Each structure stands twice: as C-alpha cells, then as structure tokens.
Amino acid sequence: MDDISIVLCGEAGQGIQTVEKLFTKIVKKAGFNVFSTKEYMSRVRGGSNSTQIRISSKPVSAYIDRIDILIPLSDESLEHVKKRISKKTLIIGEDKYIKNSKTNNKIEIPITQLAKSIGNIIYSNTIAVGLLSSICGINKKILNNTIEEYFINKKKELVKNNIKAANKGYENCLEQINKDKIKTIISPPNKKNDNIILNGVETIGLGALAGGCNFISSYPMSPSTGLLTFLSKHSKEFNIIAEQAEDEISAINMVLGAWYVGARGMVTTSGGGYALMTEGVSLAGMIESPVVIHLGQRPAPATGLPTRTEQGDLEHAIYSSHGEFPKIIFAPGTLEDGFYLTQKAFNLADKYQIPVYILTDQYFIDSFYDIPKLDIKNINNINHFIKTDKDYKRYKITKNGISPRGIPGYGNGLVCIDSDEHDEEGRITENSDIRIKMVNKRLKKLSEIKKEIIPPELYGEKDYKILVIGWGSTYHIIREAIENISRKDIAFLYFKQVYPLHNETINYLNKAEKTIIVENNATSQFSKLIRQQTGYEIKNKILQYDGSPFSVETIIKEIQKMRES
Amino acid sequence: MDDISIVLCGEAGQGIQTVEKLFTKIVKKAGFNVFSTKEYMSRVRGGSNSTQIRISSKPVSAYIDRIDILIPLSDESLEHVKKRISKKTLIIGEDKYIKNSKTNNKIEIPITQLAKSIGNIIYSNTIAVGLLSSICGINKKILNNTIEEYFINKKKELVKNNIKAANKGYENCLEQINKDKIKTIISPPNKKNDNIILNGVETIGLGALAGGCNFISSYPMSPSTGLLTFLSKHSKEFNIIAEQAEDEISAINMVLGAWYVGARGMVTTSGGGYALMTEGVSLAGMIESPVVIHLGQRPAPATGLPTRTEQGDLEHAIYSSHGEFPKIIFAPGTLEDGFYLTQKAFNLADKYQIPVYILTDQYFIDSFYDIPKLDIKNINNINHFIKTDKDYKRYKITKNGISPRGIPGYGNGLVCIDSDEHDEEGRITENSDIRIKMVNKRLKKLSEIKKEIIPPELYGEKDYKILVIGWGSTYHIIREAIENISRKDIAFLYFKQVYPLHNETINYLNKAEKTIIVENNATSQFSKLIRQQTGYEIKNKILQYDGSPFSVETIIKEIQKMRES
Amino acid sequence: MNEKTYDVGLVNTAWCPGCGNHSILNIMKQTLLELKIKPGNLVVVSGIGQAAKIPQYFKTNYFNGLHGRALPPATAIKISNPNLTVIAESGDGDMYGEGGNHFIHAIRRNPDITNIVHNNMVYGLTKGQASPTSEYGFRTPIQINGVVSEPFNPISTAIALDASFVARAFSGDIKKTKSILKKAIQHKGYAIVDIFQPCVTFNKINTFDWFKENTYYLDDSYNSTDRIEAFKKSIQNDKLPLGVFYVNKNKKTFEQNLKLHQQNNKPLFKNIVKFDKILKLISLGT
Amino acid sequence: MNEKTYDVGLVNTAWCPGCGNHSILNIMKQTLLELKIKPGNLVVVSGIGQAAKIPQYFKTNYFNGLHGRALPPATAIKISNPNLTVIAESGDGDMYGEGGNHFIHAIRRNPDITNIVHNNMVYGLTKGQASPTSEYGFRTPIQINGVVSEPFNPISTAIALDASFVARAFSGDIKKTKSILKKAIQHKGYAIVDIFQPCVTFNKINTFDWFKENTYYLDDSYNSTDRIEAFKKSIQNDKLPLGVFYVNKNKKTFEQNLKLHQQNNKPLFKNIVKFDKILKLISLGT
Ligand SMILES: Cc1ncc(C[n+]2csc(CCOP(=O)(O)OP(=O)(O)O)c2C)c(N)n1
Ligand SMILES: Cc1ncc(C[n+]2csc(CCOP(=O)(O)OP(=O)(O)O)c2C)c(N)n1
Ligand code: SF4
Ligand code: SF4
Ligand SMILES: [Mg+2]
Ligand SMILES: [Mg+2]
C-alpha cells in the first residue's frame, strides 16, 4: 500500500489536535505526502471527534471513508466511526476501547499505563505519535528531532518526557511488528519533501497578508474564527488592526469605515453572522466601497450544526442585500487557490469598489495537506485610491462606471459618501435622471468585471461524455474520484469563481452527453445558478447535507450509479 | 372625456394629502370611480411632491403620465412635472405659480387670497377641493355634506370655514366656466357608487385583521410604517399587541416569540430593515415557526430613495437567510389581492410553519382607488396549533413533513424548540441520520405547498402571440396598457404568487411567439427566477428603476416598440 | 412535584467537568422546585453559547433561539401569554455583546421576566475570545496584547437604566444564589441576575478561587431601594459586591401597561377574530 | 480659514423652518472654525434621519452611512488614520435605538471621537414615532396610549459605562453649546454630547420653551470628575441639568492602546506589504 488512512477518535479536549500537528510534521519530514482533516462536535469537552490523517508517497488531499488504522481514544470511539470500519481496519489502542470490536485485526497497547509510567497521562498523545511513527516505518531520529522542535519553547523536562513517551510508543509498537502482529504497512518514500503544510484558514490568512490586508473586524463564529485569530497573531508584525467587534453589524460597518480612509479591510464570518452583515453589504454596493468577505459555510438554517460543513450559502452570498449592484464570489477548492484568490480579492475589491467574497466551508478551513511553497514573486498589489484635487467628485460618471476613489486626508479634495442615492459629489438626490445614471454606473462595472472572470478548469478527458461539475471545497475529492474511475469518457469541471459565471460554462455543458453536479447542500444551489444564467438544466445531482464532507468513495459510487442509469 | 387626470403639486407639509382624501371622497359620492397615487421626497417640509387623482365613469386604478388639470402649489411645481405637461393640460392656480407656464391653457385663481379672506391660508386646500369639484360638475350639496362629514370631530367654526372655503373655490371656478374659459370637462355618471376607497396599506392591514393577526412588532421604515400605524390604531378594538421594537432584529425575534405561544404575528419593513431580519427568518426556518413578513419595497441599495418605489427585493426575499427551507411569497397587484393574500398568508404560515411574505412597494402602498366591498363571508381562519399531550414531540417526523405544533401553556406537553439541528423532541443533536431526516422533513413541506400555489392569471386574448408578464404592483398599469392596445394577439400574465412558481408557467410562455417582461427594477429579477425554474429566457424586458412607477403610456409605448422589433 | 420534576433523565451535558454551569443548573432546578413552578408553565428562552444550552438539561418549555437574541422572544412570550413564567438565560457574550441593544431596551420595557446571565468573562463555546465583561489585560488568541476596552458593567448599566431589579451572584454559592434567584423570579418586573461563573477551560484568571477572593456580599443593612447607593456599590471594583443591588418597586410591568392585559391576562392564542368589526371597518372605506 | 470655510454654497436643507437642527448646524460650523479644524482633515460620520443629514450641509469629508451605524465606521476611521478629526453625529433614534449596541461598545473602546446626538425625543424623518428618549406618556400614531417604556437616559448610561466625557447641551443656546462642543472635540477620547433639539413638527411636548423651562446649567462649582456626583445629576429629572457631567482623564484612547500607533500615527493607507515576512511565514508552513 502506498496510501494509508489513519483515524484518531476521541473526546474534545483530549489533545488529538496535538497528535495531528506533530505527526503530520513527522511524516512530511520522512518524505511522505500527507493530508489531514477533522470532524468535531460543537462542544469544548467530551463527545466524539475524529481526525483522519492520510499518508502517501504521492500527494493526497481529499477525505476518504476508508480507515486503515484506527486509534480509538474513548469509549464511544468505535461506535462513532463504525460505518467506516472494515475487516481490513487495524484497530490499535487500549483494551477498554478496542475490546468491543468484533474484528480480530486489533492490537492492544496500554497507552495510558505507559503515559503514567512517564509521569502524566497527558503523554498519551505523544505515545500515539510514537506508535504511529513506528507503523509507518519512520526513522527514530526524525521522530525525536521533530518532537524537540515542536516543544522548543517548553521546559526541558517536558521535552525529555515527550521524547521518552514517543519512544515508548515507538518501541512498544515495534515489538508488535516484530512479533508479526502488525506489518509496517507503508514505508517512507525515498525522496525529500520540501513542501509546506498548511490548512485552509492559514492559506486564506496568508493570501490576505499578501493582498495587503491591514484591517479585520469580526465577531467569533465557527468555522470562520480562525482567520481572525491568524491575523491577530500576526498583527504586530504586519501592522494590522484586528478588532473583535461587538456584533457582526459593527464588524462590517467598521471595515467599510477602514476602506473609506484607505485601509484594506476584511470580515470573516459564517452564515448567521453574514445574514446580519447583509445591510452593510448593500451599503458597500451604494457607496461603492471595496470590502472582502470571508464566508466560512456551515450547515444551517440558524445555528444548525455549528462545527460541520456545508455548501449551503451560495445563494445567500449572491442575492442577500437589498438593491442591485455587482459583486464577485470566489470559492477556492485548493490551498493554492485559497491563497491566490484571497490576494486577488483585495485587488479586485479595490479596483471595482465592490464586495468580493471568499466562500469556504468548515471542511476547507480545517483540512491540512502539503503543497509546494506558495510563489509570491509575481504577486502584485495595486492601491487604487488616488490623491484628490480640489474639485474631486467621489462619484464622477465615467465610461466604465468606475469613479476614481479618493480617501480623506490624502489630497485637497473632500470625500463625501452617502447611503442615499447621490449625485457625483456624493450629495443626496432624488433626481430621477441622476438615479438612472448612478444605477447604470454601478451596474456597468459588471461588464468590466466579466472581462476577467476566472474560467472553470477542466480535469480529465477532453473528449468527455460525462461531465461532473463541482465548485469550491469538493475539488480534491471529486478529482481523486475521477482519477480512480479512470475512464476515457469522463471529465470534471471545477469552478473557483462561482459568480459571475464564466461565458464558456454553457459550451462545456453542451458538449457533454450527461452532466452531473456535486454539491454539499440539499437544493443544488449552483445548478440553479447555472440554469438561471444559461438555461441548461443539470439533471443528475449528487447532494449531501448531513454536515460531513463527501468522501472519495461516495463520489465514485454515485457517479458509477449515474453513468449506468 | 370620461377619464381625467388631475395633478396637485406642492411642498411637503402643504396639506396636499387633505385635498386627496377629501376630494376622492367627494367624487366617489358623486358616482365617479377614482384613483389616486402620490410621489414624494424623503423630507418633512419643502421639496416638490405631487399627487395624481384620476376620475372616471368606469373603474380606474393605474398611474398615467397624462395631466389634464394641473394645480401647482409652489414655485417649483411647474418644473417638477414639466415632462408631463402637454398643450392640452389645463393649469389652474395662483398667478405666481402658473405665470411661467408657456401654455395659454391656464386659469388664475387667487387661492391664497381667498383663503386669507376666510381667515387663514390653511383653507387653501379646501378651496382647491371646491374648485376641482366645480370643474367635475359635482353637486354642491355633495361637496358640502362631505366636508361636514370629514371634519365631523373638529370645532364648529372650523367646519363652517371649510365649507365657506370650498364654496369660494367652487364659485370662483364656476365663474370661469361660465365665462367659457374652462369647460366642465367631465360630468358625474348617473349611477351610485357603493364602492369603498382603500389604499394598499389599509388593504394589507385589513387582511391581517381578517387573518387573525394579533401581534406586530416592527421598526419604522418607509414605505412600510403605515401598516404598523394601521394595526396600532386598531389595537384596542382587536386586542392586538403592536410594539415598536428597538431595531428590526428585535422585531422579528419578538414575532417568533409571539407565534411560539400561539399568537399570530407579523413584521412590516423595507429592504434595509429586512436585511437585518434575515437571520431571524433563518431561525423561523429552523424552528419551523410561522411568521408573516410584509416587505414594502423601495429603491436601494442601502438607504437609496426612501420614499420611492421599486421591485428590487424579489431575490432578496427569496434567497436571503442562510440554509435551505421553504417559504411562500405573495405579491399583490390589486387591493383585493392585498386583502385576501394577507389573510391567507397567516393561515398558510400557520399550516406549514414557514415564513410567508407579502411583497409590496411604495406605489402599491400609497395608491388609493375604489373597489366593491371586500367579501369576508367565505374567509376562514384555522389555528393550526394543537393541545399537547404528555409525550408531545415538537418535531415529530410525519409523512408530509408537518409536525403538529404545540404551544406552551396549552396541554400537558412541553414545547422545546432549538435553533441548532435537533431531534424530534427539539434537543440539540449532531447525529447525521437525524440531520438528514430533519432537512428532508423541512423541505418535504414544499411538495405540499406546491399543491396550492396560486396560478398566474391571464388577461386579454387566449390565443395570444405576444405575452406580457408582470408581477405585483404593476398589475393595473399593464392591464390598462393592454386594454388600450386592444389587439387580438396580446395577453398579460399576472403573477400574484411569485414563489414558488406555478407549474403552468412554462406552458403559458411556450405558447407565445414573443414574451415581454415588465419589472420595476434594473436586472429583471423575476425573469431570472423564471429561467432558473423553467429554463425559459424572456428576452424582451421593460425595466424601470428611477424610483417612479411605470405609467400606462410607458408600457404602451414600450410594448409597441417591441412588437415591431 | 418532587425532586425529579425537573430531571430529563440521563443527560450528558456539553459542559466541561468543573465548569460553573453545572452548579447553576443545579441551583436553577432547586430554585424552581422550591418556588413550585410547574415545568409546563415555565418558558426558558436562551441564545447560543455554553450557558445558553442550559434549558436542554432540565424539564421546561424552551425557546433556544439565536445568539444574542433571547430577550426579544422572552418579552414577546410574556406579553403574549402573561400566565407563563419566563426566564431569559444566556452567557455574557450573548447578552451584553451580540445582544447589547436588547438588554438596554428590555430593561426600558420592564416585562415581568427574569434575565439570568452566566458571566464567565469569556466566550466559552467559541473557544476563548474576550467577552464584553473580560477584564483589562485579559489575553486571548485574538486579544493578543490583552483586552484594552473598559469591561462592561452590567450592574451599573442596569441601574443607570433604572432596571427594576438588579442583582449579582456567584455560581459557587448554591444557597445564596438560590435565594437571590428566588427574589428575582418573584419580583414583578424585569430582573437581571448576573452570575459569576468560572470557566475552567478558557478563563484561567477569573477562577473559582479568584471569585471567592474578590467578592463579598452586601450586608443586611444595605438599602437596595437607594439608586445612588446602588450605583456606588456597582462601580466598586477592588472587591465586587454580590447580592441584590437595586430594586424599584414603583414600576409597572410592560404587560400591565398594555391596555390589552388591563382587564385580565388572557393569552393571545385565545383571541377570536372579530369579523363583525372588520366588516364595519371595511364598510367605512378609508 | 475664514467665515466661509465651512459653507457649501446655497443649500436648501431638508429641515422644517424653526427646527433646532438649523441652529446645531450653525453651532457646528462656528465651533469647527474657532477650533481651526480644516474641512479636509475632518470626517463626519452619520447615520440616517433628519439629524444625520447635517454633514451634507457644510464642507467636510463625510460618511453618511446606515441608520444606527455611525459609531462603527467612526471608530474604524479614527484608528485607521488617527490624524483625522472624527465626529459621529446623528439623531436619538439612530444612536440609542437602532444603534444602541454600538453606543455601549464605542464607549468601552474609548476612541478619540466626538459623538453628537440631536435629541429631539422623536423619530423625525419617519414622521413622528416615539424614540428611545421620548417621555412617558408621549402619544404618537404608534404609541396610541402614550409611551410606556422608561425613557433612555444617555447621560446616566454613559456614566455607568465610564465614558471619558459626558455632556448635555441645548440647541437653543448657541454660546454655551459651542463651548461644550469645543471641550468635547478637544477632549482626548470618546466624548458624548447629547443636544436637546426641538422638533417643531412632531414633538409638540418638548418644545423650545419646554426645554428652556426644564433645564438649567451645572454651575461652576460642579466637579465633573466625580463619577458618583455625575450619576446623581444625570438621574435628576425634575429639572434637567445641562453642561459637562463627567470627565475621566485617566483613560487611554483606543488608538493609543493599539500597538500599531504606539510609535507614531501613521495611517494604514501608508502601509507597505511586507512580502519578505510573508515569504518567511510561508516557508514555516504551519
Ligand atoms: C450571529 C452569531 N454570531 C456568532 C455566533 C457564534 N457564537 C456562538 S456562542 C458565542 C459566544 C459565546 O459566549 P457567551 O455568550 O459568553 O457564552 P459562553 O459560551 O461563554 O457560556 C458566539 C460568538 C453565533 N452563533 N451567531
Ligand atoms: C435599518 C433601517 N431601519 C429604519 C430606517 C428608517 N429610518 C430612517 S431615519 C429613522 C429614525 C429617525 O429618527 P432619529 O434618529 O431620532 O432622527 P431624526 O429624524 O429625529 O433627526 C428611521 C427609523 C432606516 N433607514 N434603516
Ligand atoms: S468552556 Fe468554559 S464555560 Fe464552557 S463548559 Fe467549559 S468551562 Fe464551562
Ligand atoms: S421633522 Fe422635526 S427634526 Fe425633522 S426637520 Fe422638521 S422639525 Fe426638525
Ligand atoms: Mg461567556
Ligand atoms: Mg430624533
């Protein structure tokens, strides 16, 4: 096997995240490619959460159902992942957690006892890291070095004990391997892996930094909070103002204030918080303010499933807010796209003076994998504001609808903006001729925007008969599924810009004999958008709305079903 | 002529509304049919506002550009309506206001001076009523009686002076008529008019009363405030709680609280206020609470043109809010529809436990005309809540998705509702099987709802070649235009339920050689919805977005243009 | 009614071991029992957060609504059916952050509801950001240099708004807190009880011991009807007073002020549509 | 700078003849002139309402945003460019009703902005509904039986929140109001000035004469640094005091508290993206 899936399952607060972070570092160092993702309950302690870590000698970046190795860390673990356990699943762990498993393919390792022998049960996590390393045939040196690095700022004693723990886990497991109870089912590839490991939210955060973001005001809300945390963490280094607002309404209105004086601001939120921001988005439309909105989707309506994933806010993002004005919506499906699109978002928002969205979801935000270093050489930021002169008019009517944007305190003009309909100077008007001109001006920007829509990308056979359509975070899952199916007549069309739609869309669709849409929602919002824009109806729908991401297996199965029907 | 259009133009605060109210009563009493509508600025004093009053011997109920008689009451009046003044327009008023008119078709009447002679310039309004009555050949007795009735609660002195004023106006004008300077261009028909006069907001208010509304909580916002005022005014008589909330968020959350304990509640708002309610709407979706939303549209984005009209919030109403759940949207185009649909809204909201919208706009809200007495004989209200028993489960899974709705304090059960995903009892769950069941349950209600969608109504020739499509407040305008065009190949399809769309829609469209949509917005939101639902693209669009309603003339002209092209 | 009246059977709460919420739950159940309030007659309205989950864990009607929005439904429920006992209960972020505007205006209306706030000076459910009541200097992954805003003082604010009942309690003191809660629920009008509650996971500063050390009870001689005195106490912060700060008995409740309920407390769901009156209105035209 | 510096030429304001807003406009222009604030260096942030139209009528940069939302942009503007003088100005409904939550939290942050509220105790633009400051019994087409909620007291609330500058003025007194406004603008930190303003059209109770009769000025002996004393005065309502109630000079401003501005007041628009540091971060991976 050159691709194994390890799943750790336990309670919130047990420290599975430490295992995830540490172990992915180790395997990457050993030359593996690695992917990890987690699902967790909306609670701080207890319950059942699980993390999948995929290790492979080639890039992996999608969630799969299959579990090769399961490490249950609580009473409920086996029950929690039972649908995913097969005969081939090797279950490793303490007697009390594995004893109810009906399979024979299990190994008892007294993790807690080993931890206690070192002095504290908190070492259980490192023991797990050790035993996993041993199964993956990882050199002990790499194990030890990485632990040392990881705990670099901690007390010496602690570092020592962690190394001890890792080794206990390692040895203990090795013993079992030597006894032939388990096999080293995967071995490190003979290559160096210079990739970096990032997760979705970090990639958005880095993209924001690269886009010149220097202001964020938001209100915590899963799964979007991580971005606020990321930018807060780096606020000193990058001269960022990162403010936790009293509510989402304040957050977006603050960000509009910041752009007004030339800052580059963004908000991060999820469905319910975004709903509260929609009046502010409409304000951005009217005053023609740039704003970047990171909308991390989760299952709704209302509070829904706060820590889970869904693609249910596409229509909400497109049509929310009163009145008519242009916007752009990106939905990154890869970490790279997350970075580049976010960086681009700031520049497009500034250029067109409109809201630009980064539409992600919990699955995207919480998934890690390794990618080549992001290339920032060709990245360009252009500040589109100008120095005003005395006769400056904020809403000057221009050919392309874009009025040069001045900011107060830079130049000799005054910058007057108004949420009412206004004339070129920004003063209230009810004159119907001016109203018409201003509506036209705002909508005219759309023609410019349409010139640089990012086209959908086609993967697979150019001469497809079956076309699978997806957007955003499902990208890698669908792609791996298509690669697995590996037949000549199938291709995958990936949209990273979901609004406005690219003109080529209809040509791609028309070429197919059968089209299949994949969406993590219940009503297939993207296919509705496609039909609204092109008239084309996608009849085959793979939809999932239980709060979990698609697995590669599900996509394969569903596509197979549909190609036969 | 048996249809004249009178326009009064003046400043805010001058009392044109008194003329409108009083004069429409008088002409109706004289047997005429009458229609009146107004456009006004977002200010309390000054500016230029105008009111159109149409008088006819057959029913009239649409805005037209044509002005037969203009009464300018301020310096700016002529300028304000200049596009609508033709050679045939008779201009009546004080010298200072009419002198700039280039036409000869004008009559000076020293209104202010006459008013002063009675003792106060406030009598100018009644003088105007008098002179208009005289032009319309109205019996003086009717004039005097109506004034007496109108001022019934005022001091005797005031009543006397008003009658005096009206008579001054009447005589003065009669003199001019006798001198043959003007003609009585219209005479009262020889019939009794037993109709009632209502405007849009009253009809919605009456519909709410008939639907059992007993709770309204809202925050003032033009043009929707009138409904809150109406229900407040009648709150004592009908045991209604009418509360002005601190903001729109509170308003909708209060109304959901009220429904929770068995009240029948509604909110009234406009675009920006509705934006703030969208999180609450999503809550209604999740807890499956009924709620009735009156959304009075006005031009946006943001504050826009606060007192003017637009149909720009259709998409906002359909797609706002996070998550996926059913709703119903009505858009009344006639006063009768306003009444019956609002009444129905309460019962459908209660039956399906969903949000039901009444989507109107400033034009609908502020337009008056006479209609036959509303028939309430066949109106039925059914309270869909039940008395709970001990084992009551709020979210019981049922065949049609509807769980019997219990309310606290009525029965032996407990009523537990939750904005998180929940099980049948209303307790938080993250179980994915239950999640799927609950999503399905909520969406399943849609199939039931679809069984009773109000079909679009066809006016004009059954064997049409050209089909004009409209929704909501444009109804009478389009209808009058079609009647005027009076050709065999044209028909008008009117939608009063805009969401979900009726299945017959596509058949109507397919039958036409040419389809034309009429919308008071810039992006043709309804045709986008039609294409999304049916694939059918309506290519010919008559769109207007300057804040004013369509005129019958505009529709005629545009249709003529298109039928030729 | 007996000891089990409020139990919902085996519950696995979502709270951390050692969290102050457990004891508030316990106190709530005891209080309601001792006040002989029937579960069927009680409605608990909450928002979203760790505190807001409380109604899930005992027998009651509940409206577990949106984050920050407990007070508007609670107010509407009370006035739509004045026979119900209504409690609005949530966390500090919920009530004073997202819901701050409703806090102000609920006080102004003075409905007869009890507003209980689990004040752990942190956002628990979203994992440890500052809340409006977090102290100066409190560090979190977002407030990396520590909180720089003046902590929100719900007690002084409520007194400034002339709330009709204002109290502070501590989750660690079952007896005293129960007695305060009883007074609050029995009080006719809006009553706020801010309960200090240690969050063992995300607030390592304001711990159980910290609250013990930094609080004291207002003594028996304290006159809770003196608004100025109450204000003075409310802004004291060397040591934080616990107990009933202020009571204004001269205020009518919101529902008493509504004409509707001046004859009787007929709930709205019993309203019958008066078609005859509608007909009359219609006949009048405008 | 001269007398015309703030004029925008012929303006036809949307205000009624006799409205207190006219004189506030006048006072504003004089104050700014006397303080020698350049229009280009001034940003006035307002919401929606009659009062909120004020920046349209004099020379200034303005952000005429959403109803109720003046304070968040004003705060952000100040911290994004501390060199600007920032005034947030709107009506009572706007600031204390729709915007109530921002009022609380802006005070907590203490940015160096001046918050001016035209308090006419009514909703003017929407034609005469009660505002949060409307008095008990005030009748309107919606409050048909008169207002039954406790009027919102911005002064006592601001003091309870320990706002750093709290004052009340009257639009009818140009000289005194100007002097109060000057102090407010010169104060380093958040300053609230609630200005009584007669609405001649919709408030027939709280008229010019009513304000004259029912107000008096805090005298020279009054100590505005005593918070308790200030609170006492703030809740007095037989006669309503005018003047500066409370000043807390010990507070740092929000922008001073931000690490970013501790070296200098460089506006954010001058920020240069540090690609080298981004590269380093990227190389680190997680
Ligand atoms: C509109 C909205 N914004 C944000 C959230 C996310 N959220 C849930 S609970 C919470 C704060 C919890 O803090 P607190 O109210 O103090 O309760 P605690 O968990 O500390 O008991 C937040 C921000 C949400 N659910 N809805
Ligand atoms: C979200 C939203 N809700 C409501 C309105 C309507 N509205 C405009 S101004 C106003 C109140 C005005 O009162 P106030 O703030 O006291 O200002 P005034 O006109 O009295 O000066 C309201 C409710 C709005 N523009 N936006
Ligand atoms: S996170 Fe804090 S508030 Fe939440 S349950 Fe744990 S200890 Fe209690
Ligand atoms: S309505 Fe009142 S506040 Fe508005 S301009 Fe007129 S007098 Fe002034
Ligand atoms: Mg908390
Ligand atoms: Mg006001």
Separation of alpha carbons C190 and C183, rounded Å: 12
A228 Cα to chain C: minimum distance (Å): 7
CA distance D100 to chain B (A): 8
Q: Specify the residue with its C-alpha closest to ligand 3, atom 2.
A: C199
CB–CB of C43 and B236 under 8 A? no
With beta carbons under 8 A apart, name residues in chain C contacting D159: 160
CB–CB contact D129 B13 (8 Å)? no
Pairing type for strands D42-46 and B106-108 reads unpaired
Asked if residue C9 is part of any domain, the answer here is no
CB B473 within 8 A of CB B364: yes
- Whether B187 shows a pLDDT value over 80: the answer reads yes
Q: How far is the CA of D201 from the centre of ligand 2 (A)?
A: 16
> Which residues on chain D are in Cβ contact (under 8 Å) with B229?
141-142
CB contact (8 A) between residue B239 and residue C260: yes
How many angstroms separate the Cα of B263 from the Cα of each of B354, C76, C267?
15, 10, 8
Residue B169 — pLDDT band, cuts 50, 70, 90?
very high
Is the whole model's pTM more than 0.80, yes or no? yes
Query: Residue D20's pLDDT is what?
Result: 98
Within-domain flag for D216: yes
What's the pLDDT score for residue D286?
52
- Note the CATH number of domain A457-564: 3.40.50.920
What six digits make up the tokens of A6? 């390890």
Average confidence (pLDDT) over B342-361: 98
pLDDT given for residue A412 in this prediction: 97
- Region A498-508 average pLDDT: 98
By the 8 A CB rule, do A317 and A374 touch? no
Examine domains A198-371 and A457-564 and report if their fold is the same.
yes
Nearest ligand 3 atom to alpha carbon C51: 3
Per-residue CA distances from C160 to A285, A357, B24, C157 (Å): 39, 42, 52, 5
Q: Reply yes or no on whether the pLDDT at C31 is more than 70.
A: yes
Q: State the average pLDDT over residues A112-125.
A: 91
Give tens-digit pLDDT for A131-156.
999 999 999 999 999 999 999 888 99
Name every chain D residue with its beta carbon within 8 A of the beta carbon of B307: none
**What's the pLDDT band for C286 if we cut at 50, 70, 90?**
low
The candidate with the shortest Cα–Cα distance to A357, out of A344, A366, A368, A367, is: A344
As a whole number of angstroms, the distance between CA B306 and CA B42 comes to 6
What band does A179 get if pLDDT is binned at 50, 70 and 90? confident
B523, A443: Cβ pair inside 8 Å? yes
The answer to whether residue C52 sits within a structural domain is yes
Report the gap between the CA of B234 and the closest CA in chain C (Å): 10
Q: Which chains touch D (3 or more CB pairs under 8 A)?
A: A, B, C
Size of interface A-D (CB pairs under 8 A): 188
The chains in contact with chain A, meaning 3 or more Cβ pairs closer than 8 Å, are B, C, D
**Domain locations in chain A?**
3-179, 198-371, 385-451, 457-564
Q: Would you say residue A436 has pLDDT above 70?
A: yes
Write the pLDDT tens digit of every residue in B308-337.
999 999 999 999 999 999 999 999 999 999
pLDDT per residue as tens digits for the range A15-67: 899 999 999 999 999 999 999 999 999 999 999 999 999 999 999 999 999 99
Phi-psi region at D127: left, alpha or beta (left = phi > 0; alpha = psi -120 to 50): left
Quick: pLDDT tens for B26-83: 999 999 999 999 999 999 999 999 999 999 999 999 999 999 999 999 999 999 999 9
Q: Are D73 and A215 a contacting pair at CB < 8 A?
A: no
CB B128 within 8 A of CB B71: yes
Evaluated on CA atoms A532, A534, A535, A540, the torsion sign reads negative
> What would the two tokens of residue B146 be?
């109506």
Structure token digits, residue A132:
């996993």
The yes/no answer on whether domain A198-371 falls in CATH 3.40.50.1100 is: no
- Which residues of chain B make contact with C84, given a CB cutoff of 8 A? 261, 408-409
Residue range C110-124: mean pLDDT, rounded: 98
Contacts of residue D55 in chain A, CB cutoff 8 Å? 416
> What atom of ligand 1 comes closest to residue B279's alpha carbon?
1
pLDDT at B184 over 70: no
Alpha-carbon distance D25 to D11, whole Å? Answer: 12
Which is the closest atom of ligand 3 to the Cα of C200? 7
Look at A179-193, B87-101, B187-201, B499-513 and tell me which has the smallest mean pLDDT.
Answer: A179-193
Of all residues in chain B, the percent with pLDDT exceeding 70 is: 100
Q: Is the pLDDT of residue C285 over 90?
A: no
Number of domains in chain D: 1
- HSE of D227 in the Cβ direction (CA atoms, 13 Å)? 21
Q: What is the C-alpha to C-alpha distance for residues C227 and D160, in angstroms, rounded to an integer?
A: 12
pLDDT at B565 > cutoff 80: no
Q: What is the pLDDT of residue A524?
A: 98
- For A253-275, the pLDDT digits (tens) are 999 999 999 999 999 999 999 99
Q: How far apart, in Å, do the first and last CA atoms of chain C sit?
A: 55
What is the overall mean pLDDT for chain A? 95
For B506-521, give one letter per residue: b (16+ CB within 10 A) or e.
eebbeebebbbbbbbb
pLDDT tens track for A288-329: 999 999 999 999 999 999 999 999 999 999 999 999 999 999
Does some domain include residue D242?
Answer: yes
- State chain B's mean pLDDT as an integer: 95
Give the per-residue pLDDT at A486: 79
Tell me whether residue D201 is in a domain: yes
**Looking at the CA of A247, which ligand is closest?**
1
Nearest to D157 among C161, C235, C257 (CB): C161
Average pLDDT across each block of 10 residues of chain D; the chain has 286 residues. List them in order.
89 93 98 97 98 98 98 98 98 98 98 98 97 98 97 98 98 98 98 98 98 97 98 96 97 93 87 94 80
| Nearest atom (ligand 1) to Cα of A276 | 1
Task: For chain D, positions 56-95, list CB contacts with chain B under 8 A.
Answer: 66-68
Rg (CA), chain A: 26
> Is D200 domain-assigned?
yes
**Interface with A, mutate which of B307, B320, B324 (most A CBs under 10 A):** B324
Which pLDDT score is estimated for A206? 98
Note whether residue C248 is domain-resident.
yes
- Mean pLDDT confidence for B527-544: 98
Beta bridge partners of D193: D116, D167
Q: What is the pLDDT of residue B487?
A: 82
CB contact under 8 A, A373 and D283: yes
Question: Which of A43, A44, A221, A316 for mutating ligand 1's site (highest number of atoms within 8 Å of CB)?
Answer: A221
Burial of B108 (0-12, 13-18, 19+ CB in 10 A): middle
Q: Find the radius of gyration of the CA atoms of chain B.
A: 26
Class of the CATH-defined domain A3-179: alpha beta
CA atoms within 13 A on the CB side of A50: 25
Rounded CA gap, A369 and A138, in Å? Answer: 19
Write out the two tokens for B180: 């043959």
Closest by Cα among B490, B449, B452, B450 to B470:
B490
Mutate to test the pocket of ligand 2, among D69, D115, D117, D126 (most ligand atoms within 8 A of CB): D126
The whole-angstrom separation of Cα C245 and Cα C165 is 8
Interval between CA B400 and ligand 5 midpoint (Å)? 40
- Mutation test residue for ligand 4: of D16, D23, D140, D206, the one with most atoms within 8 Å of CB: D16
Burial of B303 (0-12, 13-18, 19+ CB in 10 A): buried
The residue segments making up the domain with residue C34 are: 20-284
CATH number, residue C171: 3.40.50.970
**Single-letter residue type at B281:** V
d(CA A292, CA A43): 30
Q: What percent of chain D has pLDDT over 90?
A: 93
Beta carbon of C57 within 6 Å of any ligand 3 atom:
no
Under a CB-based contact definition with an 8 Å cutoff, are residues C195 and C118 in contact?
Answer: yes
The CA distance from B304 to the nearest CA of chain A, in Å, is 4
Q: Do B246 and D17 touch (CB under 8 A)?
A: no
The answer on pLDDT for C76 being more than 90 is yes
Please list every protein residue whose CB sits less than 6 Å from any atom of ligand 4: B 44; D 15-16, 19, 21, 50, 120, 124, 199-202
Binding site membership of A274 for ligand 1 (Cβ less than 6 Å): no
